Chains A and B, each alone.
Chain A
Amino acid sequence: MAAVLVAQTPTGDVLIKNGTVLTVTNGTLENTDILVRDGKIRRIGKNLRTPNGVMEVDATGKFVMPGIIDAHSHIAGSAINEGTSQVTAEVSMEDVVDPLDVSIYRALAGGVTSIHLMHGSANVIGGQNETMKLRFGTTDPDDLRFQGAPRTIKFALGENPTRGGRSRGIQPQSRMGVENMLRNAFTQAVEYREEWAAYNANKDPRKVAPEYDLRMQTLVDIMNGDVLVHCHSYRADEIYMLLKVFSDFNIPKITFQHANEAYKVAPELAAFGASASVFADWWAYKLEVYYSTAYNAAILTENGVLTSINSDSGELIRHLFHEAAKTQKYGELTDDQALALITLNPAKQLGIDDRVGSLEEGKDADIAIFDKHPLSVYAIPQMTFVDGVKYFDIENDGDDQRIYINPESSISEMTLYERHNDHRCMEGAFLDMEEYFSIFKK
């Protein structure tokens, strides 16, 4: 059988001239040019010469920043949560990428160039996530892959998995059960690792292989450091619990997602070297976030915890620059600190900071251009580049960006946005029959 086509990543060349360049790592450079070749930032400097055939973009009066990275997203996925089991390390979002989602374009129109498509949060140990670049316009999911990005996986603590357990009559139904499930899973994985190590070391030609278990194998990969864990969590005590579990199993890297109460254990997080990816100001939607504060990101940053701000929403992703700016209202973060929350810091948390997250020579040309400083509420994204290819240009922004249209759809089909339904983390989590029959009672 012939090999499946390997997707070719489109790359571009462009010279972005005379903008205010917000590098994030090297301060703000006025009236500066950026030369992009073959999708990489070749040079950053003043008065650069335009090579032959390279498109010029006049950024005079505009602000140029690294493409925004959303470390927690559920757009572009055909399914979000395999909620029928509490441990599903074997599943992966790479199998369910949906490149047809118009949300991708709308995120580009908000300056976002990369997302972390995450499994849902109904399971204690969820599935593997997929780091992607928003190369909108293709029907092939592989075209969106962030080549070379480290593997990551989703864990979840607190009310989501316990509610899932209660609705299915299985463990966990309490935070105690969540810890137990984690320790159990890793203990089993240690045994699995030893079993297979023994088998592999065995020289007997008639050796019989132990049972293969993709789930256990993935947990082994986590313990070996090949998969980064991102854990949905809220309460300070469960965050602390996970630090201890990871310490016991020698897993040094962890990013807590949402982590509304991370500020209460900021010193412990800093000491461990753990990081956090939080909301700017969402709270009170569940009991475990009732005691939040919008100053969370600022407190964490001031205490030396690597922090990012994410969206977990197809709506919020479009104005992450505005969400990051809220740390100057709820806190005293500087411009560069605020910008880092949506660029360099999430890049580090995803292990892709060698490629993206700041405007530096040699990095990928994932760039967003704004008409005003991105931390101003009046800023309107103008252009967004991924690998030097322009995927969004407000001057050439067609009305209907759909890649596929169901011929049997109605042209006036509409869905009303409701923020409390926006949290896709929960999808597939419970058997809520009442929800499903509400069709008869609108």
Chain B
Amino acid sequence: MKSTINKLFTLLFAIVIFSGSSFAQEDDQVLKARSGKFALTNAKIFTVTNGVIENGTLLISNGIIEAVGTNVTIPADAEVIDVEGREIYPGMIDSGTTLGLSEIGSISEAQDFREFGALTPQMQALTAVNPNSVAIPVTRVSGVTTVWTMPQGGPLPGTAAAINLFGYTPDQMFAGSKGVVMNFPSTPTGWRARRLTEAQKKERMDRALKTINDAWDKAELYAKIENADDVRAYPEIEALVPVVKGELTLFIEANAAADITAAITWVEDRGYEQVVLTGVAEGWRVADEIAASGLSVITGPVQAIPTRQSDRFDAAYANPAVLQKAGVKVALRTMEAENVRNLPYHAGFAAAYGMGREEALKAITINAAEILGVGDQIGSIEVGKKANVFVATGDPFETATKITDLFIDGYKVPMTSRQIRLYDEFLNRTPSVDKTKPVIDIKKK
């Protein structure tokens, strides 16, 4: 009896999903996420860390992956979803966005990722995230389940956070890790630098780094004295102390080749252990140095114009592959707010231009998770990890592929967003236009 009900359920879902691609909403019916036990059967499962399971079952329960494999016992109270012919992937992770911190680009009141002041590392991206941002459902229905959302601006703009794209408060969305963002100063490169000697260049660099080095010196001092009595509160410096102590990761943004190597030297001089390089647009120029440093890299957007006029047209597309082949651990980012949904396509381009599908997939799943410090929780389909997965009709890097089901934190998230609802409303608008009585009367020649 139960299996009949399950089959009816499956049928209903199938009708809903495959009825001309419209994820139709009944009048006055609001689609809500559901938690529970789900068994996805007959799937091709891309675990990322343990290969591809050709015809397997994925069991989701209590928010986590309970079982995955070809011989999984399905509990009686599980909702069975037959996804024959489709593929299951870990939810994709975008390692650099301003999603949730920016609603409309041209309206400064709607931007919350940039604060005033030269030194603001204590600004928390997490609490400023708008969990109800229209862009969040738009993003997750494309299979991106987790993003790193980051403050922007001066040398130390704030503390970034990893968020799952489901939840009604930032705490519900919090994916488990944060990090301090640092923008490494740019070395002079243009015509001004022509006439400088190496000593002069170093002197200018030191001057530019002064603000940053002063702050870190203070942080190191603060770390030593913080347990004493009578230590003043100093939020800006206190925010840096966990990095000094090795408890929090520092994410350093550097893009020009000279800046990347300068940043690596700076990290070595200061001796901080948990550091990640971000941006790295010209990483391909200094890939060996980056590999030698042992630092991981978050790079992107892949679909970008090369940094120099003299560069090959595909320099940005090929950048991640060059880094990865040199032995660097690479994660990809879009640097988007409203179009994070294009992450799989950035990965697709990286794959096409040298990285290959497998590595490109890792760059937006397990590598990203590990670099962001949540590698034990998400980024692959393994027992015990959070149930952040999606079901697709094929390769998610291809545009013809449709995402049919989505799970975040074990919740089955409805495949709807404002853009989908607008499609439904306007594909066949009611009323349309009365063709017998033209609204517009034009005396055509």
Contacts and interface: CB of A to CB of B under 8 A. Distances in A.
A414 B282 contact: yes
A377 interface: yes
Given A294-B419, A408-B194, A442-B186, A109 B314 contact: yes
Nearest to A416: B255
Contact of B191 (A290, A294, A408): A408
Overall SS of chain A's interface: loop
A321 to B, nearest CB: 10
Interface in A163-199: none
B443 A250 contact: yes
Given A246-B442, A282-B339, A290 B310 contact: no
A299 B443 CA distance: 27
B348 A410 contact: no
A284 B256 contact: no
B304 A412 contact: no
Interface stretch (B1-9, B46-54, B124-132, B394-402): B394-402
- Residue among B190, B257, B304, B400 with the most chain A CB within 10 A? B400
Contacts of A102: 309
A136 to B, nearest CB: 12
Given A293-B419, A322-B345, A268 B440 contact: yes
A54 interface: no
A252 interface: yes
A263 B426 contact: yes
Interface in B419-438: 419-420, 422-423, 426-427, 429, 432-433, 435, 438
B135 interface: yes
A227 to B, nearest CB: 14
Contacts of B304: 315, 417, 419
Interface string B293-335: 0000000010111111111111010000000000000000001
A411 B442 CA distance: 58
A106 interface: yes
B308 A413 contact: yes
A413 B358 CA distance: 34
A328 B399 contact: yes
B195 to A, nearest CB: 11
Nearest to A253: B444
Contacts of A415: 307-308
Contact of A284 (B21, B135, B193, B255): B135
Interface string A262-276: 011011101110000
B281 A416 contact: yes
Contacts, number: 192
Given A105-B313, A109-B313, A293 B423 contact: yes
A299 B426 contact: yes
A380 B440 CA distance: 45
Interface string A327-347: 011111000000000000000
A325 B313 CA distance: 21
Contacts of B336: 419
Interface string A385-402: 000000000000101111
Contacts of B427: 295, 298-299, 302
Contacts of A315: 303-305
- Residue among A281, A319, A397 with the most chain B CB within 10 A? A281
Contact of B439 (A246, A271, A330, A397): A271
A48 interface: no
Contacts of B135: 284
Contact of B301 (A246, A401, A417): A417
Contacts of B94: none
Interface in A401-442: 401-402, 408-420, 442
Nearest to A287: B104
Given A268-B433, A400-B310, A402-B310, A291 B422 contact: yes
A166 B191 CA distance: 36
Nearest to A160: B106
Contact of A283 (B189, B190, B338, B426): B338
Pairs of residues from A and B, 7 with the lowest C-beta to C-beta distance, nearest first: A377-B348, A267-B433, A285-B105, A295-B423, A284-B338, A293-B419, A414-B307
Interface of B: 20-21, 103-107, 134-135, 186, 189-191, 193-194, 255-258, 279, 281-282, 301, 303-314, 316, 335-339, 341-342, 345, 348-349, 351-353, 397-402, 418-420, 422-423, 426-427, 429, 432-433, 435, 438-445
30 contacts: A106-B305, A244-B440, A252-B442, A264-B426, A271-B438, A272-B442, A282-B339, A284-B134, A285-B105, A287-B107, A294-B419, A295-B419, A295-B427, A298-B423, A319-B303, A331-B21, A377-B349, A377-B351, A377-B398, A378-B398, A380-B352, A401-B313, A409-B190, A410-B190, A413-B191, A415-B307, A416-B279, A417-B304, A417-B307, A418-B335
Interface of A: 102-103, 105-106, 109-110, 159, 225, 243-244, 246-247, 250, 252, 263-264, 266-268, 270-272, 281-287, 290-295, 298-299, 302, 314-316, 318-319, 322, 325-326, 328-332, 375-380, 397, 399-402, 408-420, 442
Given A247-B440, A284-B338, A295-B420, 4 more contacts: A292-B419, A293-B423, A377-B397, A402-B310
